[in-house]
Amino acid sequence: MTVALRLSEITHRHGAGDRASLDGVSLEVAPGETVALLGSSGAGKTTLLALIDGRLHGWRGTANVLGRALLPDRIQPGSERAEVGFIFQEFALVDRATVRQNVLNGRLGRTNTLRAFFGQFSAADMVAAERAMADTGIADLASRRADSLSGGQRQRVAIARCLAQEPRLILADEPVSNLDPTRASDILGLITGAAQARGATVLFSSHQPDLARRFASRILGMRNGCIKFDSPADRLDANMIEDLYREELADPRTALRLVV
Amino acid sequence: MRAAPGASFWAGLAVVAAVLWASVSSDMAPGRLLSSGGRIADFLDRMLPPDLSVMPEIWKGTAETLRIAILGTAGAVIASIPLGLMASDTLAPGWLSRPVRFILALIRAIPLILVAMLMVGAVGLGPLPGVIAVAFHATGMLAKFYAEAIDGVARPPVEALESAGAGTLLRLRYAIWPQMAPVVARDTIFRFELNLRESLILGIVGAGGIGFYIQTYVRSFQYDKAATVTIAVAVMVVAIEGLNAFLRRRLS
């Protein structure tokens, strides 16, 4: 496999007559790369990630994820979906379930359906879940209910669920948008570190250029559904950022968020 | 200048008109109530003191009513699981969920006592027609509640499990069920309370339970015995309500 991801001329509209949320996006990502998607809200980052995760319908173009063609009208089998892990912005945990069960939920695409229905997970499932909980520092919370945790702990559960899936490609939608700078770099360090240890490719979206530069090797800038620039992280310069956030920078209130 | 009469004026007028129409056309002469004071006093006198010698019948009738409510609720739960899934907007396609919802509305529209009378005609006297009637009648409400519980769950966890590769069965088991379980428990307990209350009178049409004794004693002018049964029913209803309130607190 030479590429983890190859998209070509992807176009998508949320509704007929809407502005294109993805407008001719083409992209190649090599295995093991860590790529950041920069762009303001509405730039198309979430839509692009949902597409790669196989949850978007009604798009046009060609998409190849981990060597398999993604088709807009075909639902992929569980084992194929399990290869791509997704860390949701709002964590999407099952509140009344324990931390361990939430993490084991990441195994549901890999394990036997009938056995899992009756709560029987395989030894491999348990090992993957325990390892994911240890790596994210939540092993001692395993028996707690998800709704009894703090926001930071919940996010770690969401990351652990994704890691338990043993994905070869990890997608993260704004994983640090609501965190203070220290927590933000902790979480991004955790995701990219765990991915590297597992040899997984990472694609995360953010609107914090400094964090993107620190944790990604390559940065894509999105605006109005198009990829505006595609740059190695160390070549990212102020003009690119300015171009990407033109409207936000014109407004002092949003500009402040970009500076700090 | 005065404002034109608004919607509240017309609504008020409609209510007054409805009450007037009902009282004029139902022979509600207040004098009739006053002049029958003696008869009411006599009636109350014959109820007092309640005849406690019927306690064995009360226990027997109460136990049978309880059995009807338990089996009727169990039957309704069993029927409501598939019907609830079929009536759900998020799990079933529209061509299935819409007709199922319509049928459930029809079932709810038939009063329990009517179903019980038909069942007595079909399967004969005793608790069996009562159980069938309660199960049938309660399914109309319970299946609708179950469908609403399914449709009311938060979608993101369901989507997250889908993203991890979980099929429909496992999404139902690990994302939808944990979220809907407390709602299902609460709705089922609520329906059990209603079933118990409603099955108290099933005996009047011969469908078993304590209602049979109320019917028998009133018809044979044994008002002191009927009074005991009435008190027993009231105590039971209050007890069920208390139990239900307790369970609901525990579930929240």
CB contact under 8 A, B163 and A53: yes
Of the candidates A142, A107, A108, A114, which has an alpha carbon nearest to the alpha carbon of residue A128? A107
- For chain A, the structural domain boundaries read 1-83+168-260, 93-166
In a domain, B188, yes or no: yes
| Sole residue written with tokens 């007054």 | B16
Average pLDDT for residues A200-211, to the nearest whole number? 90
Please indicate whether residue A113 or residue B23 has the higher confidence score (pLDDT).
A113
For chain B, the domain total comes to: 1
Q: Assign A76 a pLDDT band (cuts: 50, 70, 90).
A: confident
Shortest CA distance from B180: residue in chain A: A96
Cα separation of B132 and B68, whole Å? 9
Does the domain at A1-83+168-260 match CATH 3.40.50.1000? Answer given as no
Q: Chain A residues contacting B, CB < 8 Å?
A: 53-55, 77-82, 84-86, 88, 90-97, 101, 105-110, 113, 116-117, 161, 165
Q: Which residue has the higher pLDDT, B207 or B123?
A: B123
The residue among A162 and B23 whose pLDDT is bigger is: A162
Identify the CA nearest to B195 among candidates B127, B130, B105: B130
Could you tell me the CATH number of the domain that includes residue B77?
A: 1.10.3720.10
Q: What is the mean pLDDT of chain B?
A: 86
Higher pLDDT, A170 or A72: A170
Structure tokens given for A30: 């090599």
pLDDT band at A257 (very low <50, low <70, confident <90, very high): low
A127: Cα separation from own chain's centroid? 23
Cα–Cα dist B37/B247, whole Å:
44
Question: Using one digit for the tens of pLDDT, what is the confidence trace for B73-90?
Answer: 999 999 999 999 999 988
CA nearest neighbour of B193 among B246, B132, B125, B127: B246
Q: Which domain covers residue B126, as residue numbers?
A: 54-251
CB–CB of B162 and A96 under 8 A? no
CA distance A55 to chain B (A): 7
Distance (Å) from the C-alpha of residue B154 to the closest C-alpha of chain A? 9
Q: Are the C-beta atoms of residues B182 and B251 closer than 8 Å to each other?
A: yes
Residue B173 lies in a domain: yes
pLDDT at B50: 77
Pairwise CB contact (< 8 Å): B156 & A106? no
Could you give the dihedral angle defined by the CA atoms of residues B190, B194, B196 and B199, in that order, rounded to the nearest 10 degrees? Answer: -160
pLDDT value at residue B150: 92
Q: What is the pLDDT of residue A102?
A: 95
pLDDT range class, residue A260, cuts 50, 70, 90: very low
What are the start-end ranges of the E strands in B5-124?
none
Q: Are the beta carbons of A40 and A206 closer than 8 angstroms? A: no
- Say if residue A249's pLDDT is above 80: no
B175 vs B127, more confident: B175
Concatenated DSSP letters for B109-166? HS-HHHHHHHHHHHH-SSHHHHHHHHHHHHHHHHHHHHHHHHHTS-HHHHHHHHHTT-
pLDDT at position A19 is 82
Q: In this predicted model, which residue has the larger pLDDT, A126 or B130? A: A126
Q: With 80 as the cut, is the pLDDT of residue B43 above it?
A: no
Answer whether residue B232 shows pLDDT above 80: yes
Whether pLDDT at A259 is above 60: no
Direct distance between the N- and C-terminal alpha carbons of chain B, in angstroms, rounded to an integer? 55
- Please give the pLDDT value at position B3: 61
CA B113 remoteness from chain centre: 11
**Pairing relationship of beta strands A218-223 and A34-38 according to DSSP bridges:** parallel
Query: What's the pLDDT at A178?
Result: 77
In angstroms, what separates the C-alpha of A133 from chain B's closest C-alpha?
A: 17
pLDDT at A136 over 80: yes
Q: What's the whole-number mean pLDDT along residues B192-221?
A: 83
CB of B77 closer than 8 Å to CB of B139: no
**pLDDT band at residue A240 using 50, 70 and 90 as cut-offs:** confident
Whole-angstrom distance, CA of residue A100 vs CA of residue A149: 13
Residue with tokens 């307790």: B246
Angle formed at CA A156 by CA A153 and CA A158, multiple of 5 degrees: 115
Distances in whole angstroms, Cα of residue B176 to Cα of each of A72, A93, A110, A230, B181: 26, 12, 19, 40, 9
Residues of A in contact with B161 (CB under 8 A): 105, 108
Q: What are the chain B neighbours of A97 within 8 Å (beta carbons)? A: 174, 178
Cβ pair A249, A242 in contact under 8 A: yes
Q: B127-151 vs B55-87: helix axis angle to the nearest 10?
A: 40
Q: Considering the domain boundaries, does residue B200 fall inside one?
A: yes
Q: Which of B179, B183, B117 is nearest to B145 (CA)?
A: B183
Task: Please indicate, yes or no, if residue B244 is contained in any of the structural domains.
Answer: yes
